[in-house]
Structure 1
Amino acid sequence: MTKITGPFIAIVTPFDKEERVDTTALRRQVNRQAAAGNGVFFAGTNGEFYALSFEEKVRVAETCVEAAQGKVPVLGHIGEISTSQTIALGKVIARLGVKAVSAITPSFIACSQAELIDHYRKVADALSVPVYLYNIPARTGNTLEPATARVLADHPNIIGIKDSAGSQESLDAFLEIARDRSDFDVLVGPDSLILHGLRNGAAGCISGLGNVCPVTVNGIHSAFVRGDLTAAEAHQTRFSALRKELYALGFPPAMVKRALCHAMPDVGWSRAPVLIAEEVDRKIAEISKRYVEAAS
């Protein structure tokens, strides 16, 4: 398969006032990202996968693939708590035309590294579409260790990892694996480390903040590719400043969605039980005015 590279946006899932998935608003967001040159990653952390039913995840997948119309690549998240449910969702998503899928480590269950190896091997064996590992221990309680990823990299259908552990140390350990072999890639999760990752061999990134600043995140990657490190660093500095300001206010996915909602109300609020206090919301609104990019 063609190597998957570039910036992807962990796209928000819009909801209407009754908390139903708003597919019309979702299509607008896919088109907005495509206009900026970004690929789409649906039903991830910023897509509130944890608050979506199986059927809603499929509907989101169908909408994103249809809206992208092949203009930009689409990746999907399929991670569930159990191996069987991850496979079940993955088989449905694989038929829709995605380039690849990723699966978060199981949550709630405290998994050993042996259990994680078994889980991912079974998922990769069962699916016809390539699989990325997805490491985000702060949310799942399970850390995918670099040594485990190195073992899993031998599987012919596991093509890389999205690392969202949040530290340069974690990212660098996975990048070392990618430098040792051409069939395993790293997609950077932490928005503050995108340029660092690219400089050290990352194939691209999957960004939540890119919902707010699609042009800026694309600018980091495109400037790096053309060798303009000054421009890449300027884009990264702006992006990191937004991350510091916005994430200081609360749960990052909810902060991202609310900042976008202030500029584009049809994306709606995050699903309950998320609540945002009025004082915090005023601060988000001010940040939104300074950072949200139309990408039209």
Structure 2
Amino acid sequence: MKKKFSGVVVPMITPVHADLTIDVPAAEKLVHYLTSNGAAPFILGTTGESASIGRAEKKKLVEATVKAAAGRSIVYAGISGNAVTDSIEDAHHYQDLGADVFVATMTSYYPADADQMLRYFTLLADKVPAPLIIYNIPATTHLSIPLDVVEQLSTHPNIVGFKDSERSVERLERSVSLWKDRSDFAFLTGWAAQSLRALQLGADGIIPSTGNLAPKLYDTLSRSVAEGNGQVAENAQLKADRISEIYQKDRTLSYSLPALKAMMSAYGLCQACMLPPMFQLAADEEKSIKNFTLSQFGDLEAINTIK
């Protein structure tokens, strides 16, 4: 069953200048790179530093993304925040600019129980003008959305999917079993290291941050699973893991994202600039990461290819 919200969705980094404004040409270039390699862009997510971007700059990014996608793919736009009225207002602006579907986490300041989560997402889904995907990421919100809550929300006519970045094999397996046979509700994993396992179980899509560098590699992985070519899919996952390790190993999120941008800058996909409270890596470390990445994986064509 091929669902509308499925396949490879890349949580796109946000290209910025040193003055902290959106680098529009780089954003357009990156969107073209993703869409021409089988992936759809998900902007204003965790990898995209959404919590650090002002609302005016967010609109610029949405506009640039929609323009560059030019109807070739779905545009996923994050509307997460701590003020539900802002999230609703942003959703209306983003729809006017051409975004297709919204993605939202739970708020991340106050603690919330299951009933409050259920009521929050119901309110949001009632008010936003396009479909909503629920996003669970305890690493940043410090809240875990119970799967029973997601199951209740899955019957809402404006809630179309669930992205889960929580690292639990048991939870992953249960999620797939709950929704793989639902034509109206999609499950997408944000646990990139389990992309192969999730797809083999029957997940609808994957949302890997390393897809910013190697979208075609994940497209190959996804297609190979669908075609029953397990060895090719396994080789793609192994290579993706090797790429991911360069920027993720022994780093917290606030240091892995600058490392990811450093790797991408080696390929001319963006500048290595970051938005506070994250900052660009020290020059020596950035140079080391760039040189190592290029020596290990070659050019953009090579990094996207299984050899």
Deviation of 1:204 (Å): 0.9
Equivalent position of 1:118 in the other structure: 119
Alignment of 1:1-296 (within 5 A): 3-179=4-180, 181-250=182-251, 251=253, 252-264=256-268, 266-275=270-279, 276-278=281-283, 280-289=285-294, 290-291=296-297, 294=300
> Which AA in structure 1 matches 2:104?
A
Tell me the distance in 2 between the aligned counterparts of 1:246 and 1:157.
36
Q: Which structure 2 residue ranges, 5 or more long, are not aligned?
A: none
> Which AA in structure 1 matches 2:47?
N
Q: Percent identity?
A: 24
Q: Which structure 1 residue ranges, 5 or more long, are not aligned?
A: none
> Which AA in structure 2 matches 1:164?
S
Deviation of 1:43 (Å): 1.0
- Calculate the TM-score normalised by the size of structure 2: 0.90
Deviation of 1:262 (Å): 2.4
> Which AA in structure 1 matches 2:268?
M
Tell me the distance in 2 between the aligned counterparts of 1:93 and 1:188.
24
Q: Is the 8 A contact 1:212 1:292 kept in 2?
A: no
1:169–1:269 CA distance, 2 compared to 1 (3 A): farther
1:23-47 CA deviation, whole Å, 9 max, x = no partner?
0111000111112121111111111
> Which AA in structure 1 matches 2:273?
W
What is the DSSP-based 3-state SS (H/G/I as helix, E as strand, rest coil) of the residue aligned with 2:207?
strand
Tell me the distance in 2 between the aligned counterparts of 1:91 and 1:202.
29
1:81-117 CA deviation, whole Å, 9 max, x = no partner?
1222221111211223223111011112111111111
Number of residue pairs matched by the alignment: 296
1:225-281 CA deviation, whole Å, 9 max, x = no partner?
222111111001111222233201422322222211122164332123324245543
Deviation of 1:216 (Å): 1.1
Tell me the distance in 2 between the aligned counterparts of 1:191 and 1:174.
16
Deviation of 1:177 (Å): 1.9
Deviation of 1:292 (Å): 7.0
Deviation of 1:162 (Å): 0.6
1:118-142 CA deviation, whole Å, 9 max, x = no partner?
1110111112211100000011111
Q: Is the 8 A contact 1:212 1:291 kept in 2?
A: no
> Which AA in structure 2 matches 1:89?
D
Tell me the distance in 2 between the aligned counterparts of 1:164 and 1:186.
11
1:206-237 CA deviation, whole Å, 9 max, x = no partner?
22111111221111112222221111110011
Q: Is the 8 A contact 2:3 2:204 kept in 1?
A: no
RMSD of aligned C-alpha atoms?
2.0
What is the DSSP-based 3-state SS (H/G/I as helix, E as strand, rest coil) of the residue aligned with 1:161?
strand
Tell me the distance in 1 between the aligned counterparts of 2:288 and 2:276.
21
- Deviation beyond 6 Å, 4+ runs, structure 1: none
